[in-house]
Amino acid sequence: SPSDPDLVERARAAKAKLGDKVFVLGHHYQRDEVIQFADVTGDSFKLARDAAARPEAEYIVFCGVHFMAESADILTSDDQKVVLPDLAAGCSMADMATAEQVAECWDVLTEAGIAEQVVPVSYMNSSADIKAFTGKHGGTICTSSNAQRALEWAFQQGEKVLFLPDQHLGRNTAVRDMGMSLDDCVVYNPHKPNGGLTADELRAAKMILWRGHCSVHGRFSLDSVNDVRERIPGVNVLVHPECRHEVVAAADYVGSTEYIIKALEAAPAGSKWAIGTELNLVRRLANRFAPEGKEIVFLDKTVCFCSTMNRIDLPHLVWALESLAEGNLVNRIEVDKETEAFAKLALERMLALP
Ligand code: 13P
Ligand code: SF4
């Protein structure tokens, strides 16, 4: 979408006034009007690493969603302030695992006599509370770009993994990348007594998958893949691992947002691609690579933007930058000290993965 020239100018002026005091991070799913002001763009792993790259910046403006801003706060020093331009930019997947539900799940695993064998692995897309639970119980965080390495590490520490909160990333990594079978996985439903599982089912499982999913990626279907293959002969189907297992199984390539960008950069002219991930990114890539003769389409036209990623728009960014430039700290995301200490442990285990 074309951005309002007046707002563009105001954002530029506020950013110039702040100079090195501000560092703007932008996730690949952000709108074009916002991404143009990012000092760094990336997938959630790259942004977690890059957040700590500017220790002299007093303000880190995070153009992404709440759990990413929390992770940036955890990984940066106490005097750096992380700002989320719209506090309503949450993530429906992260909201599917609350601290109370996860504590209850651990009780169920303890009752079944297996808690000591279980290593939690939590997707980055989770609250700081869930990351702290993970750190406290000897587990690690993962993102879509290192989930396999995180699981390999976890299976060196214990016999079973509790994977939260995205059942699809957990299942896809275990089955597609690591050769486990679908029968090795069970789904723990936090809305049912004992997760809807018997103690025997829990004891037999290798992967205990939390019943969470992404509301955007969960909408791509096997029909989306079959339809696009029929419509565009020779198309390469490239999807994010948050998609459902049957979609990932039918795709040609699977990877994080950063992987998707790299794959398209390396693609030959004349190649055709159907991409199953968030629409802002797919549109940007289609526009970027069209002049090189690469045809890029959205995997399923009925799927929409991530509505919470889209909450960060140019007016919110301008408001945040102008407030900071006037010395008003707005929309700070600050994780409490105790949560931060355990969550940091889990995040640092991820950053230390080989
Ligand atoms: P990545 O950027 O790690 O691929 O994650 C996608 C996502 O859903 C972020 O919300
Ligand atoms: Fe959450 Fe899905 Fe949006 Fe990512 S795309 S922020 S996982 S709802």
**Pick from 27, 51, 67: which is nearest to 212 by CA?**
67
How many A from CA of 29 to the centre of ligand 1?
8
Give Cβ neighbours of residue 256 (< 8 Å, ≥ 6 apart).
Answer: 43, 44, 45, 143, 144, 145, 240, 241
Q: Which numbered ligand comes closest to the C-alpha of 27? A: 1
pLDDT at 261 over 60: yes
Tell me what pLDDT residue 233 has: 97
List pLDDT tens digits, range 116-137: 999 999 999 999 999 999 999 9
Give the chain's length: 354
Give the E-state strand segments of 107-202 in sequence order: 118-123, 140-142, 160-164, 185-188
List pLDDT tens digits, range 186-241: 999 999 999 999 999 999 999 999 999 999 999 999 999 999 999 999 999 999 99
Percent of the chain with pLDDT over 90: 96
pLDDT, mean of residues 315-343: 98
Token pair recorded at residue 132: 């702290």
Tell me what pLDDT residue 184 has: 98
C-beta separation of 176 from 198 below 8 A: no
The interface predicted TM-score (ipTM) is 0.97
**Angstrom distance (rounded) from CA 349 to CA 124:** 12
C-beta separation of 256 from 217 below 8 A: no
Residue nearest (by alpha carbon) to ligand 2 atom 2: 214
Token pair recorded at residue 342: 């355990």
The dihedral formed by the CA atoms of 192, 198, 204 and 208, expressed in degrees to the nearest 10: 10
pTM of the predicted model as reported, rounded to 2 decimal places: 0.96
Token pair recorded at residue 144: 């879509």
- Fold held by 5-91+309-335: Rossmann fold (3.40.50)
Q: How far, rounded to the nearest angstrom, does the alpha carbon of residue 129 sit from its chain's CA centroid? A: 16
List pLDDT tens digits, range 50-61: 988 999 999 999
155-191 burial by CB neighbour count: b if 16+ within 10 A, else e? beebebbbbbbbbbbbbbbbbbbbebeeebbbbbebe
Domain positions in the chain are 5-91+309-335, 94-213, 217-298
CATH class of 94-213: alpha beta
pLDDT at 1 over 70: no
How many other C-beta atoms are found inside a 10 Å radius of the C-beta of residue 200?
9
pLDDT at 2 over 80: no
pLDDT at 17 over 80: yes
Collapsing DSSP to helix, strand or coil, 212 comes out as: strand
DSSP conformation class of 191? T
- Residue 3: band (very low, low, confident or very high) from pLDDT cuts 50, 70, 90: confident
Same fold, 5-91+309-335 and 94-213: yes
CATH number of 217-298: 3.40.50.10800
- Determine which of 23-27, 45-49, 124-128 has the lowest per-residue pLDDT on average: 45-49
Please tell me if the CB atom of residue 216 comes closer than 6 angstroms to any atom of ligand 2. yes
Please tell me if the CB atom of residue 308 comes closer than 6 angstroms to any atom of ligand 1. no
Collapsing DSSP to helix, strand or coil, 183 comes out as: helix
pLDDT at 83 over 60: yes
How many A from CA of 256 to the centre of ligand 1?
6
How many A from CA of 91 to the centre of ligand 2?
5
Mutate to test the pocket of ligand 2, among 217, 258, 279, 280 (most ligand atoms within 8 A of CB): 217
How many A from CA of 87 to the centre of ligand 2?
15
**Angstrom distance (rounded) from CA 67 to CA 47:** 12
C-beta separation of 339 from 132 below 8 A: yes
- Please give the mean pLDDT across all residues of the chain: 97
C-beta separation of 75 from 52 below 8 A: yes
Between 284 and 49, name the one with better pLDDT: 284
Give the E-state strand segments of 160-280 in sequence order: 160-164, 185-188, 207-210, 236-239, 253-254, 272-276
Tokens 């105790």 correspond to what residue? 338
